[in-house]
């Protein structure tokens, strides 16, 4: 049974230009799937359609047997609580502490008042510290987020997504602003999240070799259309050419 099913998805911001055209794919629970493609191919838009950060125009998305497009406000909130999101620029609140930022992930389960007053249960706090420890950043728990390095901030971002206890994590270019070393740490973490915790990860990536090394499956996107969808071992030079529209030798792949 597929956790996420996308059928004939289409999205356009203006009438004359379609960002996404007839996108269909399925993702099984526990998979790590990468979406690769040139800038402007619609990777970020596709990811944001899944939790309706962007409203789509055509087709349907079925997540966990629910049709995403038909949800009302309350159901949408519940859906978003079930889907974690990790961003290229981490999108933390820089002036707040690490632990506060992690606990923000629980807002989807709280009433407005509980959230505003910062009333978290002991269990939630313990879970937050446990996650920070797992990510190796527990000694920074009371530091302000803007004092942390990029790699550490991204790990805080992942903690915030994990404390939601999500079924799916959407990662929008999680390593695009990180150095190679931090990138490896983050990708290893995402891999272990999918294999050990069984949480499905859908990752937008720019690096073809990273996608090939880490993902179970790769979806190649070009100009809003899926041009490749298969196991990472099946991704060969001609597919890469189709995705990026150029010869592999002309790309910086490492």
Residues at the contact surface with another protein, assessed by CB under 8 A: 51, 53, 76-81, 83-85, 87, 89-96, 104-105, 107-110, 112, 115-116, 118, 157, 160, 164, 170
169 forms beta bridges with: 84, 201
Q: Could you tell me how far CA 227 lies from the centroid of its own chain?
A: 21
Q: Measured from the CB atom, is 25 or 90 closer to another protein? A: 90
- How many angstroms separate the CA atoms of 198 and 168, rounded? 9
Q: Measured from the CB atom, is 171 or 210 closer to another protein? A: 171
Q: Could you tell me how far CA 119 lies from the centroid of its own chain?
A: 27
In the complex, minimum distance from the CB of residue 113 to another protein, in angstroms, rounded to a whole number? 9
Q: Which residues touch 184 (CB under 8 Å, ≥6 apart)?
A: none
- In the DSSP assignment, the letter for residue 222 is E
In the complex, minimum distance from the CB of residue 239 to another protein, in angstroms, rounded to a whole number? 31
- How many angstroms separate the CA atoms of 130 and 112, rounded? 25
In the complex, minimum distance from the CB of residue 52 to another protein, in angstroms, rounded to a whole number? 10
- Sign of the Cα pseudo-torsion (79, 81, 87, 93, in order): positive
Looking up tokens 């960002």 gives 19
End-to-end alpha carbon distance in the chain: 35
In the complex, minimum distance from the CB of residue 235 to another protein, in angstroms, rounded to a whole number? 29
Q: Measured from the CB atom, is 178 or 210 closer to another protein? A: 178
In the complex, minimum distance from the CB of residue 108 to another protein, in angstroms, rounded to a whole number? 3
Q: Measured from the CB atom, is 66 or 91 closer to another protein? A: 91
Q: Measured from the CB atom, is 12 or 91 closer to another protein? A: 91
14 forms beta bridges with: 17
Q: Measured from the CB atom, is 47 or 235 closer to another protein? A: 47
Contact of 200 with 29, CB cutoff 8 Å? yes
In the complex, minimum distance from the CB of residue 169 to another protein, in angstroms, rounded to a whole number? 11
Dihedrals phi, psi of 46, to nearest 5 degrees: -60, -45
Q: Which residues touch 58 (CB under 8 Å, ≥6 apart)?
A: 8, 9, 10, 11, 22
In the complex, minimum distance from the CB of residue 131 to another protein, in angstroms, rounded to a whole number? 14
Q: Measured from the CB atom, is 161 or 243 closer to another protein? A: 161
């Amino acid at each position: 049974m597929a956790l996420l099913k996308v059928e004939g998805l289409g999205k356009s911001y203006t009438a004359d230009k379609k960002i996404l055209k007839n996108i269909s794919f399925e993702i099984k629970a526990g998979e790590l799937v990468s979406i690769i493609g040139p800038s402007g191919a619609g990777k970020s838009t596709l990811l944001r359609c899944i939790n309706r950060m962007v409203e789509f125009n055509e087709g349907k998305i079925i997540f966990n047997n629910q049709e995403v497009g038909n949800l009302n406000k309350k159901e949408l909130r519940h859906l978003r609580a079930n889907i974690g999101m990790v961003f290229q620029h981490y999108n933390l609140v820089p002036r707040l502490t690490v632990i506060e930022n992690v606990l923000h992930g629980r807002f989807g389960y709280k009433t407005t008042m509980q959230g505003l007053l910062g009333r978290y249960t002991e269990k939630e706090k313990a879970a937050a510290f446990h996650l920070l420890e797992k990510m190796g950043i527990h000694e920074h728990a009371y530091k302000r987020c803007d004092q942390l390095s990029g790699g550490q901030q991204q790990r805080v971002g992942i903690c915030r997504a994990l404390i939601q206890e999500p079924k799916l994590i959407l990662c929008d270019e999680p390593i695009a602003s990180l150095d190679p070393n931090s990138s490896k740490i983050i990708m290893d973490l995402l891999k272990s999240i999918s294999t050990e915790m069984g949480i499905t990860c859908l990752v937008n990536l720019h690096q073809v070799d990273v996608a090939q090394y880490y993902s179970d499956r790769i979806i190649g996107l070009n100009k809003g259309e899926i041009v490749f969808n298969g196991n990472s071992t099946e991704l060969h030079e001609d597919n890469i050419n189709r995705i990026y529209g150029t010869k592999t030798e002309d790309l910086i792949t490492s």
